[in-house]
A and B are shown apart, each in its own frame.
Chain A
Amino acid sequence: MLNLVWLVPVLPLIGFLLNFILGRTLKLSERTVYVIGCGTVLLSLIITLGAFGEYVSYARANGDAPFVAHYFTWLPGGLAHYTLGKQSGALSRFNIEWGYQIDQLSLVMMLIVTFVGFWIHVFSVGYMHGDNGYYRFFAYLNLFMFSMLILVMGSNFLIMFIGWEGVGLCSYLLIGYYFNRQEAGDASKKAFIVNRIGDFGLAMAIMAIFATFGTLEFKDVAHLSAQYGVEHLWQFGLMSWIALGLFVGATGKSAQIPLFIWLPDAMAGPTPVSALIHAATMVTAGVFMITRTNFIFQRSVTMMLVVAIVGCATAFVAATIAITQTDIKKVLAYSTVSQLGYMFMGAGVGAFVAAIFHVFTHAFFKAQLFLGSGSVIHAMHHEQEMPRMGGLAKYLPSTYKTMLFGWLAICGIFPLAGFWSKDAILGSAFATEVFGGGKIFWLIGLATAAISAFYMTRLMALTFWGEERFRKVHAGGEADEAYASAVDHGSVPHDALRSSAGDRPHHSAGEHLGPVDITDRQAAVGVSHHHFTEPRESPRSMTVPLIVLAFFSVVAGLVGLPGSKIDLLGRWLKPVIVDVRQPAAEAPVFQAFEGAPAPEKAEAEGVGLAEIGLMVLSMAIAIGGVLLGFLFYVKRPSLPGEWSRRLGPLYKLSANKWYWDYLLDVKGVEAGKAVDNALWKVDQAVVDGGVNGAGWLTRFWSFISGLFDKYVVDLAVNATGWLTKAGNVILRSFQTGFWQNYALLFTLGLFVIILIYERSAISAVVRGFTGK
């Protein structure tokens, strides 16, 4: 089915078009919509599985070469001739084929995306039931599947970039799915804008890659990059700059410091979206991209160190924040950020396989946990605050049992998936050869693992165990009062500072949330009661995905067992990871952090004693975290209050998310405003000065021109008028309107004429009178 691989992204696209265009106009029923939505993804999954099987034999026959299929020329290089008038030069070779590269890495990602995506689609069938935008939701989900598959399958950077932007768009659309809510709209905008910062770096890196290599095909770039040597620590050459751009892109998409602030807010979207986009697939695109371009990253030791530091710091910071969050989805969101930090740390220390392994296992157990939380939220009528839950294990048996596996997996308990992948990363960090000081990363990673185990136990305890607080705690009751007093003491950020409050609209204060009895109803006269039912288990369409994902949370780790003989994933992904030491074999490029490189060679043969020791240690740490969680939230529920008082400043730091949002959103914006104000001053002084000067000159000249107009031109015009007026005084006196006056004038004229012509006759007449 390798030849049908083009169908894999096209099918969800067809599903998107059908649902999006016809969904509203034809008023498709929910059944039609989800059959289209899930069916297309299922077909993609089947084709992917078929392609996987076929590629195994293909790779064996072709020496692990990737299968690259070009379909059509998307951007012909000849365009430069028309648009820029250039016939030669790099741009005339800017020939972008629309093609897919099927290799070990993209197949792993395709499997994750289609498999987890399919089960999340199935989960959405029940979760979104009754929603007005049912068709819209499934259309967006399918569009996301299309974009994500383009991202992982593209054979060159530009196609990957399209997918990259496409998933960003879908993320924006789905976070803002409940667009009539302020925080959802804000969160979607925040996600989009923060991602733009990352995308800027990625776009710059892609341009730099084209300028350097003259091509954007992964295969060719990987081949050509062999010409470039490895840039040592503190060297910052071409490869480092390209890697920096790519890494900026990855921090945006994968929610790393400093751009992780959008992911917790993104929980304003529906829970399946959080599971699919913000846990399992899209946010791991950064890890995928770094692994995809490992031939560039591995040639810059500095950037590898940066990746590791950022990943490690993100893992630790996010884990500490997750301890104090009360919103169930927020805890999982920070947990996701923390796990992504693990993946980056793994990539940074050179263990790309371990990073992808963690992507793989994390996709299952985090999707499971998110869907489980979705099931809880669904059963609690969209209540997300854990202080208002508790004791739900009795009411949601399937959800509870499946989430147990997700919980154990993320804590890193021995045979489950999370243990193997987390341990692979920690072990690689411990033994890294890329740069010295890997043990520091290992130590912080270990601490983070303990914290993860602790906060996940806390989540389970607050949600499923203990007393049934939802019976007592009404909105506007105890929990809200406790919350309000915490706000007053400054240990919890006020609601106004929290840009996202969760999934669907919260209940208004005083609205009843849990089951109710007679006294409750009498006590709350005049309060609207919508939900009187006890929390009930979710429908089959929601529990089946939970069971499937829980199963894989258990077994997914088996593909990456340590030891080169049985490490399936490691052997599978080996061709993708470039060994940069080979070209410069004569000179030792990397410095082993300590001692001679001999022990590592011995270790590569099998599972070393040191490795087993590390495993036991991380296992012990994980169990310690879990037990601490038990102690705090099950055995002695008074302990959290005591310790939060005892560690007041640390507690505040965590509850306020290390003031990161405050720094970026408030102080960062203020700094930006200050810069803008300075620029405004310049604008006002220089640009406005010029503009105003020009205006003043124009005004001055028009003033002079006006004077001329007023005293010369107007004078001529007015003089004409005055003359006419003066003439009219004379002429008007003749125009009396009395015919007798006219007749008089006529007669006078007659007399004058006679006087002139008949002077002699008149003198004769006068003589006749006088006799002379």
Chain B
Amino acid sequence: MSVLAVSAIKNLAVVLQNAPKQSWLSRAEPTLLNFMMLSFLLFVIGVAGVLSRRNIIIIFMSIELILNAVNLNLIAFSRYLQLNQDVLRQGRLPGANAMAGPVFTIFIIVVAAAEAAVGLGIVISLFRNRETVEIDEINLLKW
């Protein structure tokens, strides 16, 4: 599994190196790299939110940001694969399917919605009992 992941990342590096070397400002359509940069920014913002905020609601929102960054990434790659059928045909990314990205995205959205429902339910009951949503005050199980 880890071998697969490492090879995928290496192939991704090859893909990125073969991207056209021109400034994104000079083109009309955003490239895959642009989407990845946006996704990266979203992800970093989400991570920073998760790591730095005390309010559990904000942390939830940050998690949603992370999930959406991943979703954006998945959709961007799916689009990239559709535009570059030769990459699939050449088999440079073995097992890759252009429809896998949207399917996973929808799946993630569903799971995120369920997670948000359960999570918020917990948060509400917590607030009713403890009258706080600050995570450093929710430490009953700590010793």
Contact = CB atoms under 8 A, between A and B. Distances in A.
A760 B36 CA distance: 15
Interface in B63-78: none
Given A744-B51, A765-B36, A737 B12 contact: no
Contacts of B139: 737
Interface string B1-35: 00000100100110011010111110000010110
Contacts of B6: 757
Interface of B: 6, 9, 12-13, 16-17, 19, 21-25, 31, 33-34, 36-37, 40, 47, 50-52, 135-136, 139, 142
Contacts of B12: 761
Nearest to A771: B23
Contact of A771 (B9, B22, B50, B142): B22
Nearest to A754: B9
Contact of A765 (B33, B52, B136): B33
A747 interface: yes
B99 to A, nearest CB: 25
A311 to B, nearest CB: 100
A771 B13 contact: no
A757 B9 contact: yes
Q: What 4 pairs between A and B have smallest CB-CB spacing?
A: A771-B23, A768-B33, A764-B16, A761-B13
Nearest to A766: B37
Interface string A740-752: 1001100100000
A758 interface: yes
Nearest to A750: B47
Contacts of B22: 771
A711 interface: no
A581 B61 CA distance: 142
Interface in A714-744: 737-740, 743-744
B13 A758 contact: yes
A771 B51 CA distance: 31
Given A761-B12, A764-B17, A771-B25, A740 B33 contact: no
A71 interface: no
28 contacts: A737-B139, A738-B136, A739-B135, A740-B50, A740-B135, A743-B50, A743-B51, A744-B51, A747-B51, A758-B9, A758-B13, A760-B17, A761-B12, A761-B13, A761-B16, A764-B13, A764-B17, A764-B19, A764-B33, A765-B40, A768-B24, A768-B31, A768-B34, A769-B37, A771-B22, A771-B23, A771-B24, A771-B25
B80 to A, nearest CB: 14
Nearest to B18: A764
Contacts of B37: 765, 768-769
Nearest to A736: B136
A747 B17 contact: no
Q: Is the interface of B mostly helix, strand, loop or mixed?
A: helix
Contacts of B40: 765
Q: Is the interface of A mostly helix, strand, loop or mixed?
A: helix
Nearest to B50: A743
Interface of A: 737-740, 743-744, 747, 757-758, 760-761, 764-765, 767-769, 771
Contacts of A767: 21
A769 B22 CA distance: 10
A577 to B, nearest CB: 107
A771 B89 CA distance: 30
A768 B19 contact: yes
A765 B36 CA distance: 9
B2 to A, nearest CB: 12
Contacts of B24: 768, 771
A210 to B, nearest CB: 88
Listed residue (A737, A739, A740, A769) with the most chain B CB atoms within 10 angstroms of its CB: A740
Contacts of B9: 757-758, 761
Nearest to A739: B135
Contacts of B13: 758, 760-761, 764
Contacts of A737: 139, 142
A767 B20 CA distance: 11
Given A757-B9, A760-B17, A764-B13, 18 more contacts: A740-B50, A743-B50, A743-B51, A747-B51, A760-B13, A761-B12, A761-B13, A761-B16, A764-B16, A764-B19, A764-B33, A765-B16, A765-B37, A768-B19, A768-B24, A768-B31, A768-B34, A768-B36
A747 B66 CA distance: 13
Nearest to A743: B51
Contacts of A769: 37
A740 B52 contact: yes
